[in-house]
Amino acid sequence: MGTATPHGARAHARAQHGTRTPTMPVVPATDWPAPPAGAGPLVWAETVAGGGYAHKVLARGTELRLTDLHGDACAHLVLLAAGRPWERFNAADTVKVQWNAYLRAGHLLLSAQGRVLATLVADTTDGRHDTLCGTSTLVLNTERYGDGATHCATPAGRELLTLAALKNGLDTRDLPPSVSFFQGVHVDANDGTLHFTGSAGPGGSVTLRAEQDLVVLLANVPHPLDPRPSYTSTALEVLAWRAEPTRPGDPLWDATPEGRRAFLNTAELLTCRGQS
């Protein structure tokens, strides 16, 4: 019968019941076969293929672990305060306030309001990340690979993040430059030239803690400075679980004067909103 008729299409669709597509989210997430040791109940479990994207709204305190399964993932991440998209990740302030362009465990992802969106609580990649370049664009990918549209074989990160944004009631004006995990960039001390440092290898992971309710947008595409002529992007594992936000007394709260101020700014907002 095939899928040419409604009856055939329904039969085909129902035949998929009980099967699992490797790149589809696991629902419920608690069915994920190998949750991280010590993690609370999973709320998000997904494998994002190379050239794919994902999105989710996560509650404050949720921990999000991204894993480069095969060594060629590049997770371009945008964070926005849920319900308040004008408060979103600001790469310039994240670098400037913390006096460092190279993210490591203990660093904060900040908004332009001087508040903490997320804390980088664990990193096994030797800091192979990038706060400077953003993601790829339609024009760049068309020049390099021949196309960069959303549904082509070589989609651009900006196009995929826009699609993820639209599915959350947002649009391009809500998209700031993203931060990239697993493909690093080094700034030459002499002339400021950006050098692509590549991946730390398969299995590297980062864990972020949401310090506010967040809209999370992800695109898994090659870094814009990746010099390889082919579109090289492998699978990204995404797991999130219930946990607790950073509070006074946590070493991260008082790690630096600038960080402490950002946490206080965040606490003030949450107190005024009745969320502390």
What is the number of structural domains in the chain?
1
In this prediction, residue 2 carries a pLDDT of: 72
| DSSP state, residue 10 | H
Q: What burial class does residue 188 get, using C-beta atoms within 10 Å of its C-beta: 0-12 exposed, 13-18 middle, 19+ buried?
A: exposed
CA distance readout (Å), 15 to 3, 12, 21, 25, 26: 12, 5, 13, 18, 18
Q: How far from 44 is each of 86, 94, 271, CA to CA, in Å?
A: 25, 26, 27
Tell me, yes or no, whether 185 lies in a domain: yes
Query: Is residue 148's pLDDT more than 80?
Result: yes
Does a structural domain hold residue 219? yes
Within-domain flag for 30: no
Residue range of the domain that includes 156? 42-244+251-272
**């804390």: which residue's tokens?**
119
- The contacts of residue 248 (CB under 8 Å, 6+ apart) are 263
Confidence of residue 13 (pLDDT cuts 50, 70, 90): low
Q: Quick check: 147 and 154 in contact, CB under 8 A?
A: yes
CA–CA separation, 83 and 168 (whole Å): 10
Judge whether 46 lies within some domain: yes
Pairing of strands 184-187, 75-81: unpaired
Query: Is the confidence at residue 59, as pLDDT, over 80?
Result: yes
Confidence of residue 269 (pLDDT cuts 50, 70, 90): very high
Amino acid at 263: F
| Full-model pTM | 0.93
Report yes or no on 131 lying in a domain.
yes
In this prediction, residue 76 carries a pLDDT of: 98
- Kindly state whether residue 14 falls inside one of the protein's structural domains: no
Contact 214, 82 (CB under 8 A): yes
Domain-located, residue 8: no
Residue 137 has pLDDT above 90, yes or no: yes
| pLDDT tens readout for residues 74-116 | 999 999 999 999 999 999 999 999 999 999 999 999 999 999 9
Indicate if the pLDDT at residue 215 is higher than 70. Answer: yes
Query: What CA–CA distance (Å, rounded) separates 251 from 121?
Result: 11
Looking at residue 11, its pLDDT comes to: 76
Which structure tokens are listed for 109?
Answer: 């992802």
Q: Examine the pLDDT at 69 and tell me if it is beyond 80.
A: yes
Residue 26 lies in a domain: no
76, β-bridge pairs: 180, 219
